[in-house]
Amino acid sequence: MTAPTLDATVPQERRLVTEVPGPASRSLMARKLSAVAAGVGTTMPVFAARAGGGIVVDVDGNQLIDLGSGIAVTTVGASAPRVVEAVQEQVAAFTHTCFMVTPYEGYVAVAEALNRLTPGDHAKRTALFNSGAEAVENAVKIARSHTGRQAVVVFDHAYHGRTNLTMAMTAKNMPYKHGFGPFAGEVYRAPLSYPYRDGGTDGVVAALQAIDVIEKQVGAANLAAVVIEPIQGEGGFIEPAAGFLPALATWCRDNGVVFVADEVQTGFARTGDMFACDREGVVPDLIVTAKGIAGGLPLSAVTGRAEVMDAAHVGGLGGTYGGNPLACAAALAAIETIEAEDLVARAREIEAVLLDRLRRIEARDARIGDIRGRGAMVAVELVHAGTDVPDPELAKAVATAAHRQGVIVLTCGTHGNVLRFLPPLSISDELLHDAFDVLAATFEVTR
Ligand SMILES: *Cc1c(COP(=O)(O)O)cnc(C)c1O
């Protein structure tokens, strides 16, 4: 099975008609520099004109292979036919009434879909927001309201967003926090299971170490929530050892602490399960979703146990745009696409291609320290050969060379030494192989 949801109007091949960036992108970049705040950076100096399937077409007519999905957002593709049609229909009907003023069915239908799809078959409720960070903040509000406690525990290498509370929850200083303090209080950091760098510590043992830190430095009686990404995103696609997440979830349940899974990056078929928590049968009390939820439209959600979600008083949750009708129409169409096209299975096929191609590079190249991740969320951690010393310069060099040859690839990691692969699930095997031919050649020439 390949490319089930392509937009047929975007040709599915890599094709360069100018150097990258071309003249049209360069002139737009000059305008960007004088009009847009410098703090808003771009991975590539290339402007998009259209996108679909596994291709982004730039303003010079170059066709680039998309291994980023706009940071794990366009999981169903950037112009998935069902999403395009649903949004066109909704925009002609009405754009906004505000769900808190005169509600509409789309919001309720998205809540029902999330209550059905997320882990666990207990009674659930959902609230919708705009961004991942906003949803994480609301999960914390809800957990505090439910428990009457204040403290929040997060983990090393965590990324939860750029608002004030979520900056406090995010681990990495540069670029996310530097100079932007003071940060929200009552946020504590625990050690994470990181198999490549903790000597392969057993997952349950690593969880007991984290729990010890939590009990000694915070105290369960003060703790409202433990918030964790089941596979870390910006932190470097770190996948905790088996047993880590279940042990933490169990400790939370035993201590009346709300266990919150931040599945903003991992959700909606990305990891080869509908949600990453599904792999080990972990049932979070609250699950935070965004990114892949709505085929590219801004939407986020908190879904969880009815008694936890309903703890916040009437009027305590919401926002002007939360659950916008266009975003809800897009989400219903994206979810329908994931289910109808069995994109969970497609993510596992993509995993097989990505892992095979990366292992073939690794066999010839000692600078590949670790290959990890699941589904269409796979990364390589790059190190100086024969050591485990991070090599961010190599990650940058490979990414930049790939960009020039028409492959969109992203970096991540606390040390910036991780190349991450997040293709849309609408990409074909042919495009994946072409992209990895480019990457493999790039590794050869940087040796
Ligand atoms: C991207 C991300 C966020 C923040 O989402 P925004 O929509 O950018 O606010 C939060 N958590 C995780 C795990 C993310 O990957």
State pLDDT tens for residues 176-192.
999 999 999 999 999 99
The pair of three-digit structure tokens given for residue 420, joined into one six-digit string:
């991450």
Using a 10 angstrom Cβ sphere, with 0-12 exposed, 13-18 middle and 19 or more buried, the burial of residue 209 is middle
Nearest CA to 138 out of 274, 292, 323 is that of 323
- 23 C-alpha to center of ligand 1: Å? 33
Residue 76 in contact with ligand 1 by CB distance below 6 A = no
Would you say residue 5 has pLDDT above 80? no
Cα 35 to middle of ligand 1, angstroms: 26
Instruction: Report residue 9's pLDDT band, with 50, 70 and 90 as the boundaries.
Output: confident
Q: List helix spans (H) across 255-342.
A: 306-309, 325-340
Alpha carbon distance 83, 333 (integer Å): 5
Label residue 446 by pLDDT band (50, 70, 90). Answer: confident
Whether the per-residue pLDDT at 98 is higher than 90: the answer is: yes
For 309: left if phi > 0, alpha if psi spans -120 to 50, otherwise beta; the answer is: alpha
Note whether 252 and 259 are within 8 A (CB).
yes
Q: 135: CA distance to ligand 1 center in Å?
A: 9
Distance CA 425, CA 433 (A): 14
Q: How confident is the model at residue 397 (pLDDT cuts 50, 70, 90)?
A: very high
Q: Which of 134, 265, 287 to mutate to test the pocket of ligand 1 (most atoms within 8 A of CB)?
A: 265
Q: Which atom of ligand 1 is nearest to the CA of 133?
A: 9
Q: List the structure tokens of 71.
A: 């940071």
Question: Could you give all domains of the chain from N- to C-terminal order, each with its CATH number?
Answer: 23-76+342-445 (3.90.1150.10), 84-340 (3.40.640.10)
Distance CA 367, CA 369 (A): 6
Number of the ligand 1 atom closest to the C-alpha atom of 134: 9
Radius of gyration of the chain (CA): 21
Q: Is the CB of 160 under 6 A from ligand 1?
A: yes
- CA diameter of the chain: 62
Measured in Å, residue 132 CA sits from the centre of ligand 1 at 4
For residue 7 and ligand 1, the question of a CB distance below 6 A is answered with no
Q: Is 327 in the pocket of ligand 1 (CB under 6 A)?
A: no
Instruction: Look up residue 84 and give its amino acid.
Output: V
pTM (2 d.p.): 0.97
- Cβ of residue 235 lying under 6 Å from some atom of ligand 1: no
Which atom from ligand 1 is nearest to the alpha carbon of 158?
13
Check pocket membership of 132 for ligand 1, CB cut-off 6 A.
yes
pLDDT, position 7: 58
Taking only the tens place, the pLDDT of each residue in 208-258 is 999 999 999 999 999 999 999 999 999 999 999 999 999 999 999 999 999
- Distance (Å, rounded) from C-alpha 301 to C-alpha 116? 14
Instruction: Indicate if ligand 1 lies below 6 Å from the C-beta of 233.
Output: yes
Which two structure tokens, joined as six digits, stand for 172? 């990495």
Task: Name the strand (E) or helix (H) holding 246.
Answer: helix 244-254
Separation CA 222–CA 215 (nearest Å): 10
Q: How far is CA 152 from the centre of its chain?
A: 21
Residue 2: predicted pLDDT: 46
What pLDDT is stored for residue 447 in this prediction?
83
165 in contact with ligand 1, CB cutoff 6 A:
no
131 in ligand 1 pocket by Cβ < 6 Å? yes
* Number of C-beta neighbours around residue 395 at 10 A: 25
Quick check: CB of 52 below 6 Å from ligand 1? no
CA 72 to ligand 1: nearest atom: 15
Cα 272 from Cα 278, distance rounded (Å): 10
From CA 139, how far away is CA 309, in angstroms rounded?
9
The whole-number pLDDT of residue 322 equals 98
Average pLDDT, the chain: 97
User: Which residue from 178, 180, 40, 156 is spatially nearest to 169, judged by alpha carbons?
Assistant: 156
113: nearest Cα among 333, 280, 317, 320: 333
Which atom of ligand 1 lies nearest, measured to the CA of 161?
4
Task: Round to whole Å and give the CA distance between 3 and 20.
Answer: 26
Q: Which atom of ligand 1 lies closest to the CA of 291?
A: 7
The Cα–Cα gap between 405 and 358 comes to: 19
Beta-bridge mates of residue 63: 15, 57
Return the residue whose CA atom lies nearest to atom 5 of ligand 1: 132
For ligand 1, atom 10: residue with the closest CA: 160
1: pLDDT strictly greater than 50: no
Q: Tell me what pLDDT residue 384 has.
A: 98
What are the angstrom distances between the C-alpha of 15 and each of 20, 64, 65, 386? 11, 7, 9, 37
- 270 Cα–ligand 1 center, Å: 14
Q: What is the pLDDT of residues 268-314, one digit of tens each?
A: 999 999 999 999 999 999 999 999 999 999 999 999 999 999 999 99
Which of 130, 262, 264 has most ligand 1 atoms within 8 Å of CB, for mutation? 264
Atom of ligand 1 minimally distant from the CA of 162:
9
Question: In testing the pocket of ligand 1, which one of 75, 166, 231, 291 has its CB within 8 Å of the most ligand atoms?
Answer: 291
Strand ranges, E, within 116-221 = 124-129, 151-155, 187-190
Which residues touch 387 (CB under 8 Å, ≥6 apart)? none
CA neighbor of 288 nearest in space, from 100, 422, 161, 149:
161
- Are residues 225 and 139 in contact, defined by beta-carbon separation less than 8 angstroms? yes
